[in-house]
């Protein structure tokens, strides 16, 4: 006598393997139905990414715990190769170059106090409308809420210049001279037009290291499948205020959910 089990009654389960043992050590559980190879890739990401209480650490933690990935959303370049600054905050993208600063709204408020987020394609089109800038969409279209808070400036910390000569090509271009700091006294120096090569007036000392900030140009805006923002962010507070002293609809929903889950919170 044969027994038939309907396919819709079969529930995927995880088998236990050495990867699960590694997950225990890393403090990460395998997701329902996740195969061992995918779980192993997620564990490798977990141990290689910086996770912590700050914004980037929280994003990395969420991507790891939920099995998601960040993605490149919009590519931004300058037609004349001039360095530029890009910053994404809550509801706004700021682009600066040659003493000109532009702000592109990521969201607007409808007459009925509802947030309406622009599409990524709309943001790319707005950047293309700025003098000297070019932008292209690098992912599928979606709400600009997916753009992570970010800047195109970064730091190179304690870059090793041991036994360097008088002309040194640094690891990154776009160096901001005002941010350069050495770990010990160094000879006078100048930065070449390429924004990457240092010329020392005399032979620098051994075991020299340099810390500096640089701009990443061209720059690819990073997107995330989930949005993270803080209620204490002043920009969030401004965007949450609707007309006639009301609160934006979505914010009311967020606050209601918070208070329903944790009775220690209250709002007015």
What does 210-257 look like in DSSP terms, one character per residue? EEEEEE-SSEEEEE-SS----TT-HHHHHHHB-GGG-B-HHHHHHHHH
In the sheet with 209-215, reading across from the earlier edge strand, the strands are 153-160, 209-215, 181-182
Same domain, 99 and 146: yes
Domain enclosing residue 202, as ranges: 156-209
CA distance 93 to 76: 12
In a domain, 6, yes or no: no
Mean pLDDT score, 49-56: 81
Mean pLDDT score, 145-154: 94
**Residue 61 Cα distances to 21, 48, 53, 66, angstroms:** 20, 11, 9, 8
DSSP H stretches of helix in 107-217: 120-128
pLDDT of residue 1: 57
pLDDT of residue 264: 67
Which secondary structure element, helix H or strand E, spans residue 115, and what is its range?
A: strand 115-117
pLDDT of residue 10: 54
Mean pLDDT score, 67-89: 93
Mean pLDDT score, 233-253: 82
- C-beta of residue 112 within 8 angstroms of C-beta of residue 96: no
**Residue 111 Cα distances to 108, 244, 247, 253, angstroms:** 10, 11, 12, 18
Mean pLDDT score, 31-53: 82
Same domain, 184 and 162: yes
Overall domain count for the chain: 3
Which secondary structure element, helix H or strand E, spans residue 147, and what is its range?
A: none
Range name among 17-26, 86-95, 135-144, 210-219 with the lowest pLDDT average? 17-26
In a domain, 5, yes or no: no
Q: Is the pLDDT of residue 36 over 70?
A: yes
CA distance 11 to 214: 51
Same domain, 107 and 195: no
Same domain, 115 and 227: yes
In a domain, 266, yes or no: no
- Check residues 47 and 78 and name the one with the higher pLDDT: 78
Of 21, 43, 66, the residue that ends a domain is 66
Same domain, 61 and 194: no
CA distance 54 to 52: 6
Q: What percent of the chain has pLDDT over 70?
A: 92
């Amino acid at each position: 006598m044969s027994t038939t089990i309907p396919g819709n009654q079969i529930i995927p389960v995880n088998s236990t393997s050495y990867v699960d043992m590694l997950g225990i050590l890393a403090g990460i559980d395998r997701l329902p139905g996740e195969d061992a190879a995918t779980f192993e890739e997620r564990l490798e990401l977990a141990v290689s990414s910086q996770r912590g209480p700050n914004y980037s650490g929280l994003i990395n933690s969420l991507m790891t715990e939920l099995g998601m990935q960040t993605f490149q959303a919009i590519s931004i370049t300058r037609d004349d190769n001039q360095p530029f600054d890009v910053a994404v905050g809550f509801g706004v993208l700021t682009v600066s170059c040659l003493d000109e600063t532009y702000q592109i709204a990521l969201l607007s408020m409808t007459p009925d106090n509802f947030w309406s987020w622009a599409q990524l394609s709309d943001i790319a089109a707005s950047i293309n409308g700025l003098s000297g800038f070019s932008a292209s969409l690098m992912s599928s279209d979606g709400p600009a809420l997916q753009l992570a808070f970010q800047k195109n400036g970064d730091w190179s910390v304690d870059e090793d210049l041991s036994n360097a000569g008088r002309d040194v090509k640094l690891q990154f271009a776009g160096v901001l001279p005002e941010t350069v700091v050495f770990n010990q006294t160094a000879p006078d120096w100048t930065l070449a037009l390429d924004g990457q090569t240092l010329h020392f007036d005399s032979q620098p000392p051994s075991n020299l290291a340099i810390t500096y900030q640089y701009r990443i140009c061209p720059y690819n805006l990073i997107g995330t499948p989930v949005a993270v923002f803080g209620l204490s962010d002043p920009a969030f507070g401004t965007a949450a205020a609707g007309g006639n002293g009301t609160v934006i609809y979505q914010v009311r929903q967020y606050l209601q959910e918070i208070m329903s889950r944790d009775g220690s919170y209250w709002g007015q």
